[in-house]
Amino acid sequence: MVERPVIEYNPVFQSQVRLAIVAALFNQPALGFNALKELTGTTDGNLSTHTQKLEKCGYIQINKRFAGKNPQTSYSLTETGRKAFTRYVESLEKVIKKEC
């Protein structure tokens, strides 16, 4: 019987949009709504839904403020999110390198 490598399963990253959000935030202190929407290629509502899920998991922080009368939303990766993403990427690297 052949052993199969095991990727650390994280259901949060099963969504391509959530994975893209966390990847985009990994090396950025914060990104605004429009920048993140453009990077992920998603709609306003879809981005909102996925960022709320990531916030609920403790992976990102959502910061809302007003510039005059205009709302401005930005997103940043939490330490919990950074660790979860790092573990996920490391497990993928093990499979690629066949270290499992």
Show the low-confidence residues of the chain (pLDDT under 50): none
Task: Report pTM.
Answer: 0.87
Tell me if 3 is assigned to some domain. Answer: no
Q: How far apart are CA 67 and CA 76, in angstroms?
A: 19
Tell me if 1 is assigned to some domain. Answer: no
Q: What residues make up the domain containing 29?
A: 16-92
Tell me if 2 is assigned to some domain. Answer: no
pLDDT score at 94: 85
Output the six-digit token pair for 7: 């990727």
Output the six-digit token pair for 97: 């390198």
Tell me if 4 is assigned to some domain. Answer: no
Output the six-digit token pair for 82: 């950074």
pLDDT score at 2: 54
- CATH of residue 30: 1.10.10.10
Q: How many domains does the chain have?
A: 1
Tell me if 9 is assigned to some domain. Answer: no
